[in-house]
Amino acid sequence: MKFFKITIVTLVVGLLQIASAQGFEILEVKSPGGLKAWLVSDKTVPLITMRFSFRGGTINDPANAAGRSFFLSGMLDEGAGELKSQAFQQRMSELAMRMSYDTDREHFGGSFQTLTENKDAAFELLRLAVTQPRFDAEPMDKVRGQILLGIRGDDENPRRIASNALLKTMLGDHPYARVPKGDADSVSAMKPEDLRNAWSEIFVRNQLQIAVVGDITAEELAPLLDKVFGALPEKGQQMSVPDIKAPAKGSITIVERKIPQSVMSFAMPGMQRSDPDFITAYVMNFVLGDGGFGSRLMEEIREKRGLTYGIYTGLASWTNGGLLIGSVSTQNAKAGETLDVLRAELVKMARKGPTEKELEQAKTYLTGSYALRFDSSSKIAGQLLGIQQDNLGIDYVKKRNDLINAVTIEDAKRVAKKLIDPDALTISIVGRPEGIPLQTSGAPG
C-alpha cells in the first residue's frame, strides 16, 4: 500500500514537472541605492507579488514587552502617513491590492500583491506602511482585543500548551522559547512607543531581503525598491542571540487536563540549517516521521496499532541551533504504549537508519514534489525569500534535487546515528496519560 501511494503521487508530480520543464530565471536586481532583490519576471499575468522580511522577529522582543513584534505585525495595515486606519484600508480595497505582515522567531515578514495597472499607487501605499506607520489608539485597541482573544484560545488549546511547555523545558529563557503572541499582561500593557521601538529596531535596510515575482522587469523594479524601502535607516540595533543548549538527557513533563486524549509534543537536539548534514537529515526524517502515511512512525503507531490519527516529526532549524521536534495524540489509556512504540522506532532508526527502499522512495517523492512549491507567484516568491533567509544561494532551486539525490544509504545511516538520541527525548504531555511516570505536573484543569 505504501509503495502504491508513493508511485501514484510520483506519476502525477512527474506530469507537473514535464508541464513546467522550461523553468524560470532568477535575476538579482540591485537598486541605485544599493538594495537587492531576487526577481522572476513573468509577463503572462498582469500581477506583481512581493515577499520581504527583516532579520529579527520575536527574538527582538524584550522580556518586559513579550509579543511586541506580533502586535506590530497586526498594525502595519492600520494606517500610515496621513491615512488613518479606515482610509488606509479603503484605499487598499480601491486598488484591489493585498498587504499583510507576520513574524516568527527570527524574521519579520511582509506579503504584497497588486495588479500591474495599479502598481504605482499600490507601491506608494506599501511605502507608507513600511516607512511611516501609525499606531493610533483605536486600531491598537482593536488589534489588542484580537490578540487577547487568541491568547485565551491558546491557553485552552492542548496542542499549544504542550508545545509551549516543551520549548520552555528544553530552552528555558532562550528567545527561541518565547510565545510569539506574548501574554495577557504584556499585550494589555503594550503602548504605541513599544511598537514604534520594535519597528525602528527591525525595519533597517541591512537586514532586509526581498523576492518579487510577476509582471515587472528588473529595470522597473530597481527604482521601486528605493521608493519603498530607501528611507529606512541603513543599520539598527543588532540583537545578540546565544546558541541554544538543549538538554542531553530527556525528561517528561505532564500538564494535567480533564480531556480524553493525551496530547504529546516531543523533541531532541537537532541541527542548524547551515549544517553540511542538513539535507541528509531532511531525507532521513522524511522516512522517520515527515512522510505522512509513508513514514515509519505513521505506519507503526497508526496503521499497525491504531494508537493515533496522526504523528509527525520535523526539523526546526534556526541560526543558533535546532531541534528535531514532533507531535502525537492518543487516548489517555494508550499514552504509555504510544510512547513505548515511539521510543522503539527512534532506537531502531538510530541504530540501523532507513532501508535502501525507504531512502529511494523518499528521494523520489521529495524531488518529484518540489515542483509543487512553484505553481503560483505567491509560492515562488515565498520559496525565493526562504532561500535567501537560509543563505542557500541564488542557484539553490537548480541544485536542490541533485543534493537530495546525492544522499547515500551510508550518509543516511551515519546522520541517523548522529542526530537521533532516544535518551535525549524530552516530552511534554497535556491530559491524564496512563502508563507514564509523573515527573512534573501542571495544575489540574
Is 243 inside a domain boundary? no
Same domain, 188 and 42: yes
Residue spans of alpha helices (H) in 258-352: 278-285, 296-297, 335-352
* Distance from C-alpha of 369 to C-alpha of 354, rounded to nearest angstrom: 20
Same domain, 221 and 148: yes
Same domain, 199 and 312: no
Residues 6+ apart with CB under 8 A from 126: 50, 99, 110, 112, 228
Q: pLDDT above 90 covers what percent of the chain? A: 89
Residue pair 151/184 in contact by the 8 Å Cβ criterion: yes
Domain end marker among 163, 197, 229: 229
pLDDT at residue 239, as a whole number: 75
- Report the phi/psi class of residue 38: left, alpha or beta, with left for phi > 0 and alpha for psi in -120 to 50: beta
pLDDT at residue 23, as a whole number: 73
Radius of gyration of the chain (CA): 23
In this predicted structure, the answer to whether residue 12 has a pLDDT above a threshold of 80 is no
Same domain, 298 and 194: no
Is 266 inside a domain boundary? yes
354 grid coordinates = 532507513
* Distance from C-alpha of 163 to C-alpha of 250, rounded to nearest angstrom: 16
Amino acid present at 34:
G
Element (H, E) at 193: helix 192-202
* Distance from C-alpha of 199 to C-alpha of 131, rounded to nearest angstrom: 9
Q: Confidence band (pLDDT; 50, 70, 90) for 60?
A: confident
In this predicted structure, the answer to whether residue 273 has a pLDDT above a threshold of 50 is yes
Element (H, E) at 108: strand 107-115
* Distance from C-alpha of 104 to C-alpha of 88, rounded to nearest angstrom: 25
At how many degrees (to 10) do helices 137-155 and 192-202 cross? 80
Which whole number is the average pLDDT over 147-174? 96
Which whole number is the average pLDDT over 254-258? 96
Same domain, 214 and 298: no
* Distance from C-alpha of 295 to C-alpha of 179, rounded to nearest angstrom: 30
Which whole number is the average pLDDT over 217-234? 97
In this predicted structure, the answer to whether residue 423 has a pLDDT above a threshold of 70 is yes
Residue pair 48/214 in contact by the 8 Å Cβ criterion: yes
* Distance from C-alpha of 399 to C-alpha of 390, rounded to nearest angstrom: 15
Amino acid present at 415:
V
Q: Confidence band (pLDDT; 50, 70, 90) for 22?
A: very low
pLDDT at residue 240, as a whole number: 83
* Distance from C-alpha of 110 to C-alpha of 123, rounded to nearest angstrom: 13
Q: Please report, for the domain that includes residue 274, its CATH number.
A: 3.30.830.10
Element (H, E) at 21: none
What's the full length of the chain, in residues?
445
Which whole number is the average pLDDT over 393-401? 96
Which of 325, 197, 331 shows the shortest CA–CA distance to 263? 331
pLDDT at residue 439, as a whole number: 52
pLDDT at residue 388, as a whole number: 98
Neighbours of 208 (CB within 10 A): 19
Is 273 inside a domain boundary? yes
pLDDT at residue 438, as a whole number: 57
In this predicted structure, the answer to whether residue 127 has a pLDDT above a threshold of 60 is yes
Beta pairing partners, 112: 50, 99
Is 45 inside a domain boundary? yes
Same domain, 165 and 30: yes
* Distance from C-alpha of 196 to C-alpha of 75, rounded to nearest angstrom: 11
Is 195 inside a domain boundary? yes
Residue pair 439/247 in contact by the 8 Å Cβ criterion: no
- Report the phi/psi class of residue 45: left, alpha or beta, with left for phi > 0 and alpha for psi in -120 to 50: beta
* Distance from C-alpha of 289 to C-alpha of 328, rounded to nearest angstrom: 11
Is 35 inside a domain boundary? yes
Q: Percent helix, strand and coil across the chain, each rounded to 5?
A: 50, 20, 30
Same domain, 331 and 182: no
Backbone angles phi and psi of 341, in degrees to 5: -65, -40
Q: Confidence band (pLDDT; 50, 70, 90) for 236?
A: confident
Same domain, 84 and 165: yes
Element (H, E) at 26: none
In this predicted structure, the answer to whether residue 230 has a pLDDT above a threshold of 60 is yes
Residue pair 421/269 in contact by the 8 Å Cβ criterion: yes
Is 47 inside a domain boundary? yes
- Please report, in angstroms and rounded to a whole number, the separation of the first and last CA atoms in the chain: 42
- Structural domain boundaries enclosing 85: 23-229
Which whole number is the average pLDDT over 28-42? 97
Same domain, 313 and 412: yes
Residue pair 187/71 in contact by the 8 Å Cβ criterion: yes
Same domain, 166 and 268: no
* Distance from C-alpha of 48 to C-alpha of 25, rounded to nearest angstrom: 16
* Distance from C-alpha of 401 to C-alpha of 312, rounded to nearest angstrom: 23
Which of 269, 413, 257, 253 shows the shortest CA–CA distance to 339? 253
Report the domain count for the chain.
2
**Pairing relationship of beta strands 321-331 and 252-256 according to DSSP bridges:** unpaired
Sole residue written with cell 486524549? 261
Same domain, 84 and 170: yes
Same domain, 218 and 322: no
Element (H, E) at 387: helix 377-389
CA distances 365 to 11, 150, 373, 401, Å, are: 10, 36, 13, 11
* Distance from C-alpha of 191 to C-alpha of 237, rounded to nearest angstrom: 20
Is 15 inside a domain boundary? no
